[in-house]
């Protein structure tokens, strides 16, 4: 009975099946288009993320270079200050040795009494 009806109405049925096939193909094409759009979005996001990462890495490298340069400058300044302090210390020790030598050269070198000539020697010790 269904077969007889199908044979009698084959033109509308074939048009309906053709329309259903066209709708199925259109849906499949739409779905593949959405998948492709999603894939392109993922690729664009990856490219943008990589570009931003490269930008940040460059900025971090520049900041690290600036910090390294500042540390090197500080190290040079500290070395100069250290050298100046050592020079001042050695000059002070030289002056102290000269003062002790002048004090010992005075008459009664072992004597701890404060005399005029000793006061004159000590007067030269003031900076």
- Residue 24: inside a domain, yes or no? yes
- Establish if 114 belongs to a structural domain: no
Specify the number of domains making up the chain: 1
Q: Which domain holds residue 99?
A: 2-105
Q: Is residue 75 part of a domain?
A: yes
110 in a structural domain: no
* CA angle in degrees (0–180, nearest 5) for 7-9-13: 105
Higher pLDDT, 10 or 30: 30
Does the residue 119 lie in any domain? no
pTM for the model stands at 0.49
- Position 6 pLDDT exceeds 80: no
pLDDT in tens, 86-119: 999 999 999 888 888 877 776 665 566 666 666 6
Residue 25's pLDDT is what?
A: 96
Q: Rounded CA gap, 19 and 11, in Å?
A: 12
Q: For residue 19, is it within any domain?
A: yes
Q: pLDDT tens-digit profile of 38-61?
A: 999 999 999 999 999 999 999 999
Residue 65, in any domain of the structure: yes
Residue at 70 is within a domain: yes
């Amino acid at each position: 009975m269904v077969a007889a009806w199908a044979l009698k109405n084959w033109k509308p049925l074939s048009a309906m099946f053709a329309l259903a096939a066209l709708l199925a193909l259109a849906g499949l094409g739409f779905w593949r288009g959405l998948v492709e759009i999603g894939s392109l979005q993922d690729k664009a996001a990856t490219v943008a993320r990589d570009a931003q990462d490269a930008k940040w890495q460059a900025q971090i490298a520049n900041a690290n270079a600036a910090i390294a340069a500042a540390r090197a400058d500080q190290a040079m300044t500290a070395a100069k200050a250290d050298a100046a302090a050592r020079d001042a210390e050695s000059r002070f020790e030289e002056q102290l040795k000269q003062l002790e030598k002048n004090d010992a050269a005075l008459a009664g070198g072992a004597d701890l009494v404060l005399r005029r000539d000793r006061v004159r020697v000590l007067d030269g010790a003031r900076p």
